[in-house]
A and B are shown apart, each in its own frame.
Chain A
Amino acid sequence: MTQADAPDRLHRRPLSRIVLPYAMLSPAVLVTLAIVFFPMVQTVWMSLHDYVLFRPHAFDFVGLKNFRTALNDEVFWISLRHTIIWMAATIPAQLLLGLVTALLLNQSFPWRPLARALIIIPWALPSVVIALMWVWIYDSNYGIANELLLRVGLIQRAIPWLANPDTALAAIILTLTWQGFPFFAVMILAGLQSIPRSYYEAASIDGASAWRQFWHITLPGISGVIVTAVLLRTIWVANSFDVIFVMTGGGPGYATHTLPLYAFIKARTNLDFGYGSAIATLFTLMLMVIVLLYLRRTGKAVQ
């Protein structure tokens, strides 16, 4: 009996070993397929059709028409320009502010645990709350930003930060920088703490200045973390439109339109899902190119 069982069990073990990883992974993969991959394919499919939601029976294949329309659409190019400014300003600003914060928090001083906890607050708040909060800060009648600047004497009269096309985008970029820098700070702080103390001790015995220590020990030590954090933030910042949507709705005019916001407005408010999908698809492609280029360059640099 036992003799007959033994080879059977031996035979079964490798099979279960083969099946097990798939079995463990499949729920996650299936869910991802269902809620991420399937809608993505659906978006691409919709972008090839004339699909306006309030005409549910008309779903005509039009090939690349929506894409051609987008490339000839003035608003598409305005939105693209704003998206580039939006990303190029927000991410470096968040990174720098996060880096400085992390370096400060890495020093020992009393209340450090409290400071570390407080710094995470902007990141922990919901975007809508942040947006509403900053709308009040920028308010031209009652806002604290104008009040402070007027008292200090930096401006002569209240500025409608969000209603002025020259300042609206910058004002929102400042808001998002404030919201996002704790993420960098926390990530970089974790990286800093993984650098062995002995490196710094050895460097100071050799007479390296603080700047040299930062340049040759700290920065290489956290470069991996920075690359990952920048990559994640690039994707998040590029796609985030909730703060803009709540603060200005893309206005005044098109002054704060970005591509994800434009796609959203086209699809959700104008109910033109075909065109909205085309804009979203174009933007996804552009973002993929940026991410790939970034990974190639930084991947080499880190190695």
Chain B
Amino acid sequence: MTFKKTLGLASVLALTAGLAHADSTVRFWYHFDNADNPMDDLVAAFEEANPGIKVEAENIPWNSYYDQLYTAIIGGSAPDAAMVKMFAQPRLVEMGALEPIGERVDAWDGKDGLQDNLLELTRAADGQTYYLPVQYVVLYLYYRPDMFEELGLAVPQTCDDFREAARALTRDTNGDGQINVYGFGFRGAGGGHDHWGSFTLGREGVSLTEGLTSEAGIAGTQFVADLFREDGVFPPSTPNDGFQEIIGTFKAGRTAMTIHHIGSANGMVEALGDNVSATVVPECGGGRWTAFGDESTAILSSAEDKEAAWKWISFLSSAGNNALFNEATGQLPVVKADTETWSLHPQRFVQATVDSLPFAELLPNVPETSDFVNTVWATAMQRVLIGDITAEQMNAQIADLYSN
């Protein structure tokens, strides 16, 4: 009798627990450029495996992703979990908006399946773990092998080679007296700091936090300015060109080189076939630098059901799911097992990514990086490109930002 009663009570309790759980909703924010969005499939698979948890995944446009995220956090309507990049981490930590997930990660059986070192790279300055990596890319140089061959040019290894090649590639190919192919598609608007970084931050003794105002640092910015103003190897619209423009003009055959990551590789192959390849960025001033493009997921401290949120984000970084996720973003999976079976990208682009890893770096893990990425870099670079300020002034502005 007592046993039955206890059993009855236990099942009631279990039922209530189950019911209470049924109310759980994870609001998740992410940003996909790709119209071919697999999120619904992922959500459906997750909800089937975790009855009682509902996922409301919202695709936020990239251009205002962080504006919206910060505002939502302050306004008390933050999502429970979100896709996040490293440059935003110091600011989010300062806002107290992130939930530490170190213990959950340690107890998670998927931890050892992640690519080596990724959890180290995404650890916060305070030693805590807030981010769970979900995808990564490394930026490299896209080029047109057919154009290089036509002109008898070698793939550039150094900044000097690069400049020479870009000048030769800038030409009028249809004989109407107008230049219609430019050597390099430079991203002058927001997000182009990675391009500038490859020409500037690889130089000896130069980084965002030191040496930027040295001769070597200024030479990097001046190199970019000269390419545009003296050599005219960037398209004239460069100061306003963003992601769409640099990719679009390269695909349309109006530029012969540009810098981006494997995320755009399949689109480029679709447009250009074998006439597109990739290599590491050139060595400038004695060293190479390229951007490590990270993307993680995090639980926000305001999340109601953190356990449910954890289940969802760890689901995205698990074998199989992570591959599906990355098939949509066109980036690389963080799960080893998924990397081994990875066949989505032609080998030459995977190779260029792997070759770039040794000198790929993240931007400094400090709050100033947000302003650097969002406003300071683009405004200063545009002013240099249009001749409003000098390379020296631009580097001084950035050094100023980081010295505060």
Residue positions of A touching B, CB distance < 8 A: 53-56, 139-141, 157-160, 162-165, 248-255, 265, 268-271
Contact = CB atoms under 8 A, between A and B. Distances in A.
Given A160-B236, A248-B240, A271-B70, A54 B379 contact: no
7 contacts: A54-B95, A141-B252, A163-B236, A248-B240, A249-B189, A251-B379, A252-B240
A163 B94 contact: no
Contacts of A158: 178, 236
A269 B67 contact: yes
Nearest to B383: A253
Nearest to B190: A249
Interface in B142-194: 178-179, 188-190
A252 B70 contact: no
B386 A165 contact: yes
A140 B249 CA distance: 11
Contacts of A56: 74, 95
Interface in B331-372: 367, 370-371
B239 interface: yes
B388 interface: yes
Nearest to A265: B375
Contacts of B254: 141
B124 to A, nearest CB: 15
Contact of A165 (B74, B190, B388): B388
A253 B386 contact: yes
Contact of A252 (B178, B239, B370, B374): B239
A252 B385 contact: yes
Contact of A251 (B189, B370, B389): B189
A56 B388 CA distance: 35
Interface of B: 67, 70-71, 74, 91, 94-95, 178-179, 188-190, 235-241, 249, 252, 254, 367, 370-371, 374-375, 378-379, 382-383, 385-386, 388-389
A300 B388 CA distance: 45
A281 to B, nearest CB: 20
Contacts of B367: 54
A299 B302 CA distance: 55
Given A140-B235, A252-B385, A254-B383, A270 B374 contact: yes
Contacts of A141: 235, 237, 249, 252, 254
A54 B371 contact: no
Contact of B379 (A55, A165, A253): A253
B375 A269 contact: yes
A91 to B, nearest CB: 26
Determine which residue in A54, A139, A158, A255 has the highest number of CB atoms from chain B within 10 A of its CB, and name it.
A54
A163 B237 contact: yes
B87 to A, nearest CB: 13
A265 B190 CA distance: 13
Chain B interface main SS type: helix
Contact of B237 (A54, A140, A253): A140
B310 to A, nearest CB: 25
Chain A interface main SS type: loop
A254 B95 contact: no
A16 to B, nearest CB: 43
A140 B379 contact: no
Contact of B67 (A55, A139, A253, A268): A268
A135 to B, nearest CB: 9
A97 to B, nearest CB: 27
Contacts of B179: 157
A36 B398 CA distance: 38
Nearest to A140: B237
Determine which residue in A55, A139, A253 has the highest number of CB atoms from chain B within 10 A of its CB, and name it.
A253
Contacts of A139: 237
Nearest to B93: A54
Given A158-B178, A249-B190, A270-B371, 5 more contacts: A163-B188, A163-B240, A252-B188, A265-B375, A270-B375
A141 B254 CA distance: 9
Contacts of A55: 94-95
B375 A54 contact: no
A253 B67 CA distance: 20
Determine which residue in A139, A254, A255, A269 has the highest number of CB atoms from chain B within 10 A of its CB, and name it.
A269
A74 to B, nearest CB: 11
Determine which residue in A255, A270, A271 has the highest number of CB atoms from chain B within 10 A of its CB, and name it.
A271
Determine which residue in B74, B235, B238, B239 has the highest number of CB atoms from chain A within 10 A of its CB, and name it.
B239
A162 B240 contact: yes
Contacts of A159: 236
A157 B176 CA distance: 10
A70 B16 CA distance: 59
A163 B238 contact: yes
B71 A53 contact: yes
Contacts of A254: 379, 383, 388
Contact of B239 (A157, A253, A265): A253
A53 B239 contact: no
Given A251-B379, A253-B386, A163 B239 contact: yes
A53 B388 CA distance: 31
A53 B375 contact: no
A160 B237 contact: yes
B188 A269 contact: no
Determine which residue in B235, B237, B238 has the highest number of CB atoms from chain A within 10 A of its CB, and name it.
B237
Contacts of B375: 265, 269-270
A33 B192 CA distance: 44
A140 B254 CA distance: 12
B236 A54 contact: no
B332 to A, nearest CB: 30
Nearest to A157: B178
Nearest to B380: A253
Contacts of A255: 382, 386
Nearest to B254: A141
Contacts of A270: 371, 374-375
Given A163-B237, A163-B238, A265-B375, A53 B70 contact: yes
A271 B68 CA distance: 11
